[in-house]
Each structure stands twice: as C-alpha cells, then as structure tokens.
Amino acid sequence: MIDGFIKTSLDVAARKPGRGFTIGHEGIIKVTEVGSSVKNFKVGDICIASCISACGVCHYCQKDYQSHCARSEGTVSCILGVQTDGMQAEYCRIPYADHSLYRCPEGVPLDTCLLLSDILPTSYELGVRGRVQEGDIVAIIGMGPIGLAALLSLKSFKPSQIIAIDMNESRLQLAKSLGATTVINSKSEPVKKIIEKLTTKDEIRPGVDLAVECVGLPVTFETCQDIIAPYGKVAVIGVHGRPVNLKLDKLWSKNINISTGLVSTNSINELKNKVVSGELDPSPLITHHFKLSNIEEAYAVFRRSSETGAIKVAITPDGVDI
C-alpha cells in the first residue's frame, strides 16, 4: 500500500466518525444493480474490477493514461478503498463502471481472475511491457506478489536469464519453481559480484539488460543502479516513500533508461487473453483463501508471510463459493 494512499484513506475515515472506512482495491464482483449511465454491464455479470477507476472520456483517459483520469476525486485514479469505500465487503459501488470493469473470461477460476485487478497489470505495464527482448538478462529485486507476477509475465518474452533477488528464502524458492534461472539471497550473498560473474562474457560488459525494482526502498533502487548494463533499463515498480540516491555521475555514460509510474490497467484485456490461452498462469500466486467473516485471521496470516508462505490471500463473502 502506498503511504500517501493510506493517509488519504485515514483522512476519509476521519470525516466519517464512528462509521469507519472499507479498504480493498482488487476484486471480482457480481453486478447486482446498475447506475443510469452504465451502458456496458448488466445485473448478473461477473467482472474483474480494475484497481483504477477511469471515466474513459477525459483528456488522460483518451490518451490511455487512466491512472491520471481528470475526473477522479484525487490526483490519481485509485478511488476504491482510497477515496471511496473499497471491496473488502459484501457490496461495493464501482465508480465509472463502463471503463473500470472487465468481464471475467469463461473457464478461468475467479481467484485467478482476481490477479488481473492490480498485480498482473501493475507488474506488466511498469516492469515488462516494451522493456524486454528475447535473450535479455533480467533481474527482479523483491519477490513479493508484484515481483513474482513480473517474473510470470516476463517468461513469454524468452529472456536468457531471470535473476530473482530477495531476502526471504521461501519466496526465492517459489521464484525458482516459477522460472527464475538464478536466485540470490541479498541478506547473505554479494548481489553485484554474483551478477558480474553470471553476465560477463567476451566483449560483453557485465550487468543486466533490465532491472525490475519491486520493493520501494533506497537500497533496492541502488542495487538496480549497481547491476545495470550499458543501454539497460531500470523499471521502478516499488512505491518509494523517501528520496533516493541517483548515481547520475555513473549512469549517464551508460545510456540507462529509468522508468517509474502508477498503473493504468489498460493491459487487462491483453493479459486476460494470455491467461485464457495458457501463455500466462498466475494461479500459483494465490496461496490462501478465507471467508470475509475470518478476515482478521487472513490479515494475521499475511502479516506472518515469511512463516506462512502467503503471497496473495483471496477473501470471499460468506455463502459465496468460487
């Protein structure tokens, strides 16, 4: 969760004393009622709700920059669970439904569809799309849900190496089982040295072609800068709450491209097709299921993820089976 988003959620909650505030920006919904301006959906439709609510007609939406929809209530389009009540509930109001919902594909389990709401588009749009070519060497720093989702969507681009870096051994082992060619535990192993050894070849300078930063700490951004090869790309997905040290004096002559941003979720249909065709299987990322009445236990399991192995936890309302 983004610090600024938490602050916004708390501000909204403070304006509703005694009522509380419902969080949750990833979800699958069954339409029970439609507003008068909704044209594309009807009662009974089962849909992926994007974590971004976008009007579809403003300057930014027309350019496919939905994350900055001008009609959102804040500066960005994360409305559900941030500016209005979110989806960890039995019922939820979806703003701008026509441009913020996507019908679930037939034959794909709903808990798999759930991953199309946020983590798959986030990791794909900000870490993978347009950044990787066949044969590239890729490093992913941080093997939480976003890093693992990036790994899964990278594979079909056929990089020659996928190097997974984390401090949590169970997440590293999961990364290996999902296709990482090398795993490095940054708590006990020298990341830069190992990558130099893995990537140095005749007439090829050491480093990775793409470094995907999925943590959001100054130290992990620094690692990316230390391991990037000439003409490499550093893709920052992690949400940074503090300034970082930018080694421009070392990077400028290496022709490095650094990108960052907030997801627009304009890749949901593309990713949905990849899931339907079997090119992308994100199902291993859902590790736990709970009913809404047990949500406190779900949070406790997620909080102890290094012991429980929790990656993504699916919550369903009581009485609903998926």
Q: Cβ neighbours of residue 285 under 8 Å, at least 6 residues apart?
A: 115, 119, 145, 148, 149, 152, 311, 312
CB of 253 to Zn ion, least distance (A): 40
Q: Counting contacts by CB under 5 A, is residue 55 touching Zn ion?
A: yes
> 46 or 58, CB closer to Zn ion?
58
CB of 25 to Zn ion, least distance (A): 17
Residue matched to tokens 């979110």: 86
Q: Comparing C-alpha atoms, which of 71, 94, 73 is closest to residue 24?
A: 94
CB of 91 to Zn ion, least distance (A): 25
Among 28, 51, 69, 115, binds Zn ion (CB under 5 A): 69
CB of 59 to Zn ion, least distance (A): 8
Residue matched to tokens 């790994």: 151
CB of 295 to Zn ion, least distance (A): 32
Is-contact 136 232, C-beta < 8 A? no
Q: Counting contacts by CB under 5 A, is residue 61 touching Zn ion?
A: yes
Applying the rule CB under 5 A, the residues between 82 and 111 that interact with Zn ion are: none
Q: Comparing C-alpha atoms, which of 121, 78, 149, 94 is closest to residue 272?
A: 121
> 88 or 100, CB closer to Zn ion?
100
Half-sphere exposure of 172 (CA within 13 A, CB side): 17
> 69 or 236, CB closer to Zn ion?
69
DSSP 190: -
CB of 100 to Zn ion, least distance (A): 10
Stretch that binds Zn ion, among 28-36, 61-69, 213-221, 256-264 (CB under 5 A): 61-69
> 61 or 235, CB closer to Zn ion?
61
Q: Counting contacts by CB under 5 A, is residue 58 touching Zn ion?
A: yes
What is the Cα–Cα distance from 224 to 235, expressed in whole angstroms?
9
What is the Cα–Cα distance from 93 to 112, expressed in whole angstroms?
22
What is the Cα–Cα distance from 316 to 27, expressed in whole angstroms?
10
The footprint of Zn ion on this chain (CB under 5 A) covers a number of residues equal to: 6
> 52 or 150, CB closer to Zn ion?
52
Residue numbers of the site for Zn ion (CB under 5 A)?
Answer: 54-55, 58, 61, 69, 71
